[in-house]
Amino acid sequence: MLAVETSIAAASVIVAAAGVTRPAWLLVAGLTGHGFKGLWQHRSQYVANTRWWPPFCLVIDWVAAAILVVLLAVGVDFHH
């Protein structure tokens, strides 16, 4: 499981770094994907001691992604 978590963390860092210089939609995709990871962790009971953390993280990720979608839809340019 450590290899899976490390791979997911590495992918998150790569997508976030790419979203800084590439289209901000990558940030939306990364946050959405990270939220799905939290959903998987919650449903599989992967996290034992802090069961509240995966759903909390999912909500934060998806709210941030939704805010970015709205900002991108109204034409905010993050790369001046």
Residue with tokens 């940030």: 27
Tell me the domain boundaries of the chain: 2-73
State yes or no: pLDDT of 9 exceeds 90. Answer: no
Mean pLDDT of 23-45: 88
Averaged pLDDT score across all residues of the chain: 87
Give the per-residue pLDDT at 53.
Answer: 86
Judged against a pLDDT cut of 80, whether residue 17 lies above it is answered with: yes
Judge if pTM exceeds 0.75: yes
pLDDT score recorded for residue 80: 65
Residue 62 neighbours by CB under 8 Å, 6+ apart? 31, 32, 35
Q: pLDDT higher for 21 or 59?
A: 59
* Short-list 2, 23, 1, 16, CA closest to 61: 16
